[in-house]
């Protein structure tokens, strides 16, 4: 019995892995294992022999079982120690930096514009991007023969067969939001309407979808002088130049009368745009006093109220301020472009509670 015990204890001690331990277990305690066979022989012994051999065999079985478990645990601990030594990690090191997302220039400039006009008391108004023919054209005093109402300039939505109503359109400007704001709020009112607009155009300075912001202020004694002051204050704040000079040129827009296109003094010396200096002028927006028919369409009495409106392209303002050469890059560039022109989300608070540069 002692020889048998020593034989398997030595075999267990010499087992180098779990497979070897399992082989020893089968040899000793398997169905045909040496110790298992001896325990079966107890049935053939006399009572006195069983009383003498039974406890010894049970003790041997328990000892071998314990030795197998201990050796298996020892090998597992050794394997873990080896793995820890090979995969050592300094947990005091700082984490690996992950690339952060950036704010698109259009979103950044929209936030800047919104914050500047908010300081002047303008609220933000929004409206649907799919508009009725009336809101997009008729309410804005745009006649049926106007080029904007032709298929080559506007995206028209299909009507079902037999439906002869004027088709809906993808809005060509955010001016319909002004009508909806006047209808919903009445006068006095002071709002801006930033958002996406759509036109059938595509080149270096035009895309089928772009972003526009329009402003509207209605009160009893508003004049072009108020419009001029608001636009000058906006340009000073947006371009971060104190010496801004604007030039108003007479123009024509169906929804304003009188109407004016607004130019800003600038310089292109050395191919670099500088606002507020030089002898060049650059058009940046359209404006004017709201046409009486537009006021009436918005539910406001033009005999008691008057106001101004203006509109400018957000994408173009972003190009001018941040030196982006091609408008199409806003929509078809890859992440490298966005990493170059994008803005960190962690620089300063914005109107919407986020953070931007």
Q: What is the CATH number of the domain that holds 335?
A: 3.30.930.10
Which residue is listed with tokens 């300063």? 348
Is 349 part of a structural domain of the chain? no
Domain residues for the domain of 30 are 1-87
> How far is residue 64 CA from its own chain's centroid?
65
Question: Annotated binding residue at 257?
Answer: yes
Q: Which pLDDT does position 301 carry in this prediction? A: 97
64 has pLDDT over 70? yes
Is 256 part of a structural domain of the chain? yes
Residue 236 · residue 242 · CB < 8 Å: yes
d(CA 250, CA 104): 35
Same domain, 114 and 60: no
134 has pLDDT over 70? yes
**How many separate domains does the chain show?**
2
Mean pLDDT rounded to a whole number for the chain: 85
d(CA 262, CA 275): 14
What does the pLDDT average to over 21-49? 79
Same domain, 78 and 138: no
d(CA 166, CA 158): 10
Is 239 part of a structural domain of the chain? yes
The pLDDT tens digits for 325-352 are: 766 766 666 666 666 666 766 554 454 4
More confident residue, 234 or 91: 234
| Residue 233 CA neighbour count, 13 Å, CB half | 13
């Amino acid at each position: 019995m002692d020889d048998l015990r020593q034989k398997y204890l030595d075999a267990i001690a010499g087992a180098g892995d779990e497979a070897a331990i399992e082989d020893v277990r089968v040899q000793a305690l398997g169905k045909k294992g040496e110790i298992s066979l001896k325990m079966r022989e107890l049935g053939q012994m006399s009572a006195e022999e069983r009383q003498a051999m039974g406890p010894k065999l049970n003790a041997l079985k328990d000892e071998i079982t314990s030795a197998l478990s201990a050796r298996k645990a020892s090998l597992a601990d050794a394997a873990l120690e080896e793995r820890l030594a090979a995969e050592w990690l300094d947990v005091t090191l700082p984490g690996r930096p992950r690339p952060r997302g950036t704010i698109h220039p259009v979103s950044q400039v929209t936030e800047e514009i919104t914050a500047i006009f908010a300081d002047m008391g303008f609220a933000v108004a929004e409206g649907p991007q799919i508009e009725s023919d009336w809101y997009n054209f008729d309410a804005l005093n745009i006649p049926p023969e106007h080029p904007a109402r032709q298929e080559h300039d506007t995206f028209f939505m299909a009507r079902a067969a037999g439906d002869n109503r004027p088709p809906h359109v993808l809005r060509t400007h955010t001016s319909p939001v002004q009508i909806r704001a006047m209808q919903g709020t009445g006068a006095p009112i002071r709002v801006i309407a930033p958002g996406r607009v759509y036109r059938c155009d595509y080149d270096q300075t035009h895309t089928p979808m772009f972003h526009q912001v329009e402003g509207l202020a209605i009160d009893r004694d508003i004049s072009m002088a108020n419009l001029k002051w608001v636009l000058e204050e906006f340009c000073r704040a947006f371009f971060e130049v104190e010496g801004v000079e604007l030039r108003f040129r007479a123009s024509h827009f169906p929804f304003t009368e009188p109407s004016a296109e607004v130019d800003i003094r600038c310089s292109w010396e050395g191919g670099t745009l500088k606002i507020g200096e030089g002898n060049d002028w650059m058009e940046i927006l359209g404006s004017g006093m709201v046409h009486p028919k537009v006021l009436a369409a918005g539910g406001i009495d033009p005999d008691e109220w008057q106001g101004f409106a203006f509109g400018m392209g957000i994408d173009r303002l972003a190009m001018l301020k941040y030196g982006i050469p091609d408008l199409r890059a806003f929509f078809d560039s890859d992440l490298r472009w966005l990493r170059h022109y994008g803005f960190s989300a962690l620089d300063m608070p914005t109107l919407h509670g986020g953070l931007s540069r």
